[in-house]
Amino acid sequence: MDGDGSQEQLAEQKAVLVLLRELIQTALTEKQRNALQAELEGMPLDEIARYLDSNRNAIYKLTHDARKRLKRGLQDAGYAQEDIQSVFAI
């Protein structure tokens, strides 16, 4: 990839990440944000459930719904799944 392509891809990555941060703050509940953050840090579902005083099935549903909200927010902003994958392709 040439220099311009790299700069363009970096700019697009930054735009997606900014949008994701915004969506995480505005489209998710605090409990969804906490559960997703713990999941992204590698915490097992059972541990997240204890941390949030819940159960494994509820946390699974909570994070599933959070991911759906983020996906819908990205789609509403004009990003298709393929767009996101291509922006972050190595």
Please state the domain extents for the chain: 3-87
Percent of the chain with pLDDT over 90: 80
- Residue 72's identity, in one-letter code, is R
Q: What is the Cα–Cα distance from 14 to 54, expressed in whole angstroms?
A: 34
2-21 average pLDDT score: 85
Q: Average pLDDT in the 25-30 region?
A: 97
Instruction: Tell whether the model's pLDDT for residue 27 goes beyond 80.
Output: yes
Contact of 52 with 60, CB cutoff 8 Å: no
Global pTM value: 0.83
Q: What percent of the chain has pLDDT over 70?
A: 93
Indicate the class that CATH gives domain 3-87.
Answer: mainly alpha
